[in-house]
Structure 1
Amino acid sequence: MKIGIYGQFYHENSEIYIQMLLDALQKREAEVVIEENFLGIINQNQDITKNFSAFSTFTKLDASFDLFFSIGGDGTILKAVTFVADLGIPIVGINTGRLGFLATIQKEEMTESLNQILEGEYSISERSLLTVETFPKSEEIQPLNFALNEVAVNRRNTTSMIKVETLVNDKYLTSYWSDGLIVATPTGSTGYSLSCGGPVIDPDANNFVLTPIAPHNLNARPLVIPDSSTISLKVSGRENTFLVSMDSRIATLENETEIIIKKAPFTIKLLQLHDDSFIKTLRKKLLWGEDKRN
């Protein structure tokens, strides 16, 4: 078994869970390859009891990996997606952050969850992505022109609103006067879109959602559309440029640049334990069903 490991930085007590993971994988005699920068962080941390300098490292992945462990929060998983891309390697998120909506393993259940995974007791949740193309082309967008959560356009260096002219399947929808517009996948519906009033969408639904950010026209509401749709955006405003974000990656584009957003031709595989589900995660993370009257 060949395992890749990635993290961005240490949350509090992260070393405990990194040590547990590495020890468990070594007992299984797995081939472990750690992302180069993360290995440097591990070896600089005095609370790690072993020196892992001898571990192999990667800067890019290939299809030979069986599992890819992401250690951190949801942001780390989104970054892990840029390594995996279209390789089809299942991602296992270990949540050492706060909310951890996308994580497979919660740190409080580390030992039991790891044993289940290494015994093959899991399923795969396939998640759709968005791809972005611009006219004229932008070097800032390529080659990582995809997003698991959302693609968003936002105003830049101004307090003024921007106008986001929006077409769906070449048919004019509306022009949003707002701080921006989010195009979110079902996976991303519990992220930025949700905080802007968007709906929660089950990951198995074949939909995207358009969610305006602080719209001036108060009748502008989030809109759920089929994920077979092609979305075209053009932004204008008082500034000459605006921002487009793909999950955590940000690019600057000139006004009137045409942005084409579609469903990606590949999916991301998130590993899911048998006793977990999207409904269970909603109840746990959003505190649904809890009686707060007492």
Structure 2
Amino acid sequence: MKIAIHGRNFPESARPYVQAMFEELTKRRVDVLISADYRDFLDSAGVEHDSQATYRPEDGVTDADFIFSLGGDGTLLDAVTHVGSRQIPIVGINIGRLGFLATVAPPSIRLMIDALFNGQYGIDERTLVSVKSTPDIFGPLPFGLNDFTITRTQTSSMITVHSYLDGEFLNSYWADGLIISTPSGSTGYSLSCGGPVLLPQTNNLIITPISPHNLNVRPMIVMDTCQLSFEVESRSGNFLAALDSRSYTVDVSARISVQKENFKARLVKLGDENFLNTLRSKLNWGWDIRN
């Protein structure tokens, strides 16, 4: 078995779990491939490992059975770009805070590895959003798992986003911006702006305005088979375009279209994991201080 590993900085309390993970992989004679920056961090943190093989995130992972993401949901979003259309299954190990996507707790790492070897896991396929633009904004990585956003720059006033659905005029949003979210991203930025929560397998996208000037404008759910396109007006002459954690300043002359990507992210699901349990746990549904 060959496993790629990517992560970010972790607190000292997590180091024993990470060390135990590498020891378990060594014991099972797993070929390990580590992202270059994370390899540097592991060495500085004193984590011992036998792997001499690294990969550069910009080149991605071309050959692995799984990729382990050690961090929070942001780290897992990075891992999605590392595997891209190769759709290598991603195991999210939650050394972050919230963890809607990265669901494996550090104490369960050894049990998780055992489950992978025994084939006791499922694959949760998640829709990605794809962005095409003129000029090109996101280069070789025009896809994201959570959302695509158009927002004003910090120095600009409210922007106007003229929006079209399959070529038909939809609305001109006078707002701080607009979020196009996948079902996976419905618990992220869109949720904080009043968007609905969608089950991961829902075949929809969410259009969520950010601080709209017209209070009767509300989030809208559309089929993920449609194509959305946008033109932006801004007094500053530019705006910010972001795809998951990657953002760029863009001139208002840019033309942008968004639709479902033709491949998916494949997240490893273990045991009795399910989205409803995650919602109740992470959003404290049913929690009452009186209990």
Cα shift readout 1:35-78 (whole Å, capped 9, x = no counterpart)? 111111101113x3x3x375211123444210000000110000
C-alpha distance in 2, partners of 1:110/1:276? 15
Cα shift readout 1:213-240 (whole Å, capped 9, x = no counterpart)? 0111001100000000100111112111
C-alpha distance in 1, partners of 2:216/2:179? 16
TM-score (ref. length: structure 1) = 0.94
Structure 2 residue 271 is the aligned partner of structure 1 residue 274: yes
TM-score (ref. length: structure 2) = 0.95
**The residue matched to 1:13 in structure 2 has which SS?**
helix
The answer to whether the 8 Å contact 1:11/1:97 transfers is no
Q: Which range moved further: 116-125 or 204-213?
A: 116-125
Structure 2 residue 223 is the aligned partner of structure 1 residue 226: yes
The answer to whether the 8 Å contact 1:157/1:239 transfers is no
Cα shift readout 1:168-192 (whole Å, capped 9, x = no counterpart)? 1111111111100000000000001
Residue number among 197, 202, 215 corresponding to 2:199 in the alignment: 202
5 Å-filtered alignment, 1:1-294, equals 1-46=1-46, 48=47, 50=48, 52=49, 54-59=51-56, 60-135=59-134, 137-138=135-136, 140-294=137-291
Residue correspondences, number: 289
Q: Which range moved further: 99-108 or 210-219?
A: 99-108
**Amino acid of the structure 2 residue aligned with 1:242:** F
Alpha-carbon RMSD: 1.5
The answer to whether the 8 Å contact 1:104/1:271 transfers is no
User: Aligned-pair distance for 1:119?
Assistant: 2.1
User: Aligned-pair distance for 1:14?
Assistant: 3.0
**Amino acid of the structure 2 residue aligned with 1:87:** R
Cα shift readout 1:77-128 (whole Å, capped 9, x = no counterpart)? 0011110100110000100010011013122433333322332211000011
Change (3 A) 1:54 1:281: closer
C-alpha distance in 2, partners of 1:11/1:169? 47
**Amino acid of the structure 1 residue aligned with 2:106:** K
**Amino acid of the structure 2 residue aligned with 1:194:** L
The answer to whether the 8 Å contact 2:61/2:82 transfers is no
C-alpha distance in 2, partners of 1:167/1:39? 44
User: Aligned-pair distance for 1:8?
Assistant: 2.5
Q: Which range moved further: 271-280 or 62-71?
A: 62-71
The answer to whether the 8 Å contact 2:6/2:38 transfers is yes
C-alpha distance in 2, partners of 1:197/1:66? 38
Gaps of 5+ in 1: none
Gaps of 5+ in 2: none
Change (3 A) 1:200 1:15: same
**Amino acid of the structure 2 residue aligned with 1:120:** G
C-alpha distance in 1, partners of 2:253/2:191? 27
**The residue matched to 2:281 in structure 1 has which SS?**
helix
C-alpha distance in 2, partners of 1:148/1:11? 26
Percent same amino acid among aligned pairs?
43
